Chain A
Amino acid sequence: MTTDTSVASGRGAAPRPPRRPEGDDSVGLVDPTRRYRFSNLDAKFSPYLFVAPFFVLFTVVGLFPLLYTAYISLFDWEIGLDGEFVGLANYVELLGDPQFWNAMVNTFSIFLMSSVPQIIVAVLIAALLNTALRARTLWRMGVLLPYVASLVALTLIFGDLFGVQYGMINDWLEAVGLDRINWQAERWWSHVAIATMVDWRWTGYNALIVLAAMQAIPRDVYEAAVVDGAGTMRRFFSVTLPMLRPTIIFVVITSTIGGLQIFTEPLLFEPAGGNANGGASNQFQTVMLYMYQAGFGRYELGYASAVAWVLFVVIIAIAGINFMLTRRIASSGED
């Protein structure tokens, strides 16, 4: 290559003189700093204007309502604005309220029943998708199909499938010689049914997230494992799984935040529909359902706010524990 010392464009190019607006042929007649001054103000303040919408909106519809929920929870606030200050009475009542604890147990039960099988199946499906498939995108789309169904539609469909008298699942159980199950009335079976809906919607989605992480694992790690004589199974358990840990924990955290707020599935699983009891003996009432019932069914807004705040603290605590675990695992995985 011949040496060429002049730089026409890109890094190192000589700065071009600022361009004038069209038709501006005045020479020093207009205050030459005016334009500069505007541009300076623009550079200084515009960035704040650009990011302001998020902060304003989050403050007004996110942060303020959350804090105000804490404030309302200190009042005996029924419908109307004549709440009486009662201090922590709502919380004291809540901690002694068997229906609240029942809802808490139900929420965790449904959450565990849905997230544990979901993550196991998602990792397995991701491993299958990570092979040299023909028509890759079609398989990925197929796996993702349930994700686009609306929660309401899907819950209505599953409510029908899990029907006691005419439901297909009970027909099949009977066909293979098992007893029909009263999916709505029996506590643990109702949790199984609701967990199935959650799994059905989210497993494929999580499989794609895990798949993305699998594809980011460097090839030479596998090649080294092959040289060391590791078979397919050994490679999966000794290479793939450990390297997926951060992603799996990410999936766990996101499904925790969503899963503990589960609402639509239990609301619509009620055969009659439209009420937030979560079954005749609240057997599948979750904390969100209980909050909805207290706040918008009985209009006990103070009490419902106390429910919301206890759930908020639980979610943040669990997300925090997950986060600390992630960091510990991620840092110990470095070496």
Chain B
Amino acid sequence: MSEKRPGFAVYGPLIAFIIASAFPFYWAFLVGSHDDQHFKAEQPWLPGGNFLVNAKDVLDKVEFWKALGNSLIVSGTVTVSVVVLSSLAGFAFAKLRFKGRGPLLVFVVATLAVPTQLGIIPLYMAMAEFGWAGELGAVIVPNLITAFGVFWMRQFIADAVPDELVEAARMDGCSLLSTYWHVCLPAVRPAAAMLGIFTFMTSWNDFLWPLIALNAENPTIQVALEKLKSGYYVNNSLVLAGTTMATIPVLIVFLVLGRQIVAGIMQGAVKG
């Protein structure tokens, strides 16, 4: 194969694609940094100086900090739980022998295709019954472990943890749980980190269920953003200032962990 460096025919379209990808972020900041009326009168291409004023309006109109805190609590709890419980189940499926292992694993994989989002009506009724409606627990508990997480960890553990190591730990008198803790977990850190990043992002961006399960006084950040838009007069500068504020933390995470996220998607694609 020729390894010659590609020319403009390759870089040109890629640059165009990335500009198109980044533009809406810039647009949100552009509109968010101007006065709404002023922006409508003449459309500037450079950011204005009104961002802090808009940001203050956002803080007045919605419970921004509370929503941010709620999102952190929900996503943090869900991430820790998914990583621990999924790797525990993945360890059992990959390394332990027990009756029914094959069929049970097939069942886990099959549930990946089940759109559980369609069960939200009884789920809401159940939450209301338990008095959980409006509480963060209603958003946390249904996401404590995922089929994707179990499957992902199983695939990785099957390769990354040698059978001999598990047997040796057993020989030395480790219980299965401490074998998981001392032998399996240290070996699967990269996959666990990846699963953690994805779980956090998914949970952070979740909208439909938090919208139904939480009320307006106790929202996650996504539900709070939606609220900015309600009402008869919609101030676009306000909405997009709020959107920018909520996006900045995610962009920082992306800049720091982007390499891992990319690797994770590509690895998942080959294995899945």
Contact = CB atoms under 8 A, between A and B. Distances in A.
Interface of A: 10-11, 15-16, 18-19, 21, 35, 39, 42-44, 46-48, 50-51, 53-55, 57-58, 61-66, 68-69, 72, 124-125, 128-129, 131-134, 137, 139-146, 148-154, 156-161, 163, 165-166, 168, 171, 200, 204-205, 208-213, 215-216, 219, 222-223, 226, 247, 250, 253, 257, 260-261, 263-264, 267-268, 271-274, 288, 291-292, 295-296, 301, 304-305, 308-309, 311-312, 315-316, 319
Given A39-B175, A153-B243, A143 B17 contact: yes
19 contacts: A18-B171, A21-B173, A55-B107, A57-B144, A63-B114, A69-B122, A133-B14, A142-B14, A148-B261, A150-B221, A150-B246, A160-B239, A166-B43, A168-B27, A200-B21, A209-B268, A292-B212, A312-B115, A319-B113
Interface residues on B, range: 35 or more
Given A11-B164, A64-B122, A274-B229, 20 more contacts: A19-B171, A21-B173, A46-B92, A47-B176, A50-B96, A53-B85, A65-B116, A131-B10, A143-B14, A149-B24, A153-B225, A156-B243, A157-B24, A166-B43, A211-B266, A253-B113, A257-B113, A273-B226, A292-B212, A304-B121
A73 B141 CA distance: 25
A228 B65 CA distance: 64
A54 B105 CA distance: 11
Contacts of A65: 116, 119-123, 126
B164 A213 contact: no
Contacts of A312: 115, 118
A51 B265 contact: no
Interface in B1-36: 1, 3-6, 10-11, 13-14, 17-18, 20-22, 24-25, 27-28, 31
B239 A156 contact: yes
Interface string B249-265: 01101100011011001
Nearest to B180: A50
A250 B271 CA distance: 12
List the 8 closest A-B pairs by CB distance, nearest first.
A65-B119, A273-B229, A50-B92, A68-B122, A274-B230, A212-B269, A47-B98, A209-B269
B222 A152 contact: yes
A129 B229 contact: no
Q: Is the interface of B mostly helix, strand, loop or mixed?
A: helix
B213 to A, nearest CB: 11
A98 B11 CA distance: 49
B176 A148 contact: no
B249 to A, nearest CB: 10
Nearest to B41: A166
B187 interface: no
B147 interface: yes
A157 B4 contact: no
B212 A296 contact: yes
Contacts of B262: 137, 140-141, 144, 208
A213 B269 contact: yes
Contact of B269 (A143, A247, A308): A247
Contact of A161 (B24, B39, B226, B234): B24
A50 B116 contact: no
B111 interface: yes
Nearest to B18: A142
A164 B246 CA distance: 25
Given A54-B89, A148-B251, A273-B234, A66 B118 contact: yes
Nearest to B86: A54
A124 B14 CA distance: 10
Contacts of A309: 118
B89 A53 contact: yes
A150 B247 contact: yes
A43 B176 contact: yes
B250 A148 contact: yes
Contacts of A247: 269
A316 B269 contact: no
Contacts of B144: 53, 57
A295 B121 contact: yes
Contact of A54 (B121, B141, B147): B147
Interface string B131-147: 00000000001101101
Contact of A50 (B17, B91, B226, B243): B91
B71 to A, nearest CB: 10
Contacts of A47: 92, 96-98, 101, 176
Contacts of B228: 156
A157 B10 contact: no
Nearest to A267: B226
B102 interface: no
B243 to A, nearest CB: 4
A15 B171 contact: yes
Interface stretch (B47-55, B56-64, B188-196, B201-209): B201-209
B214 interface: no
Contacts of A157: 24-25, 27-28, 240, 243
B43 A168 contact: yes
B158 interface: no
Contacts of B96: 43, 46-47, 50
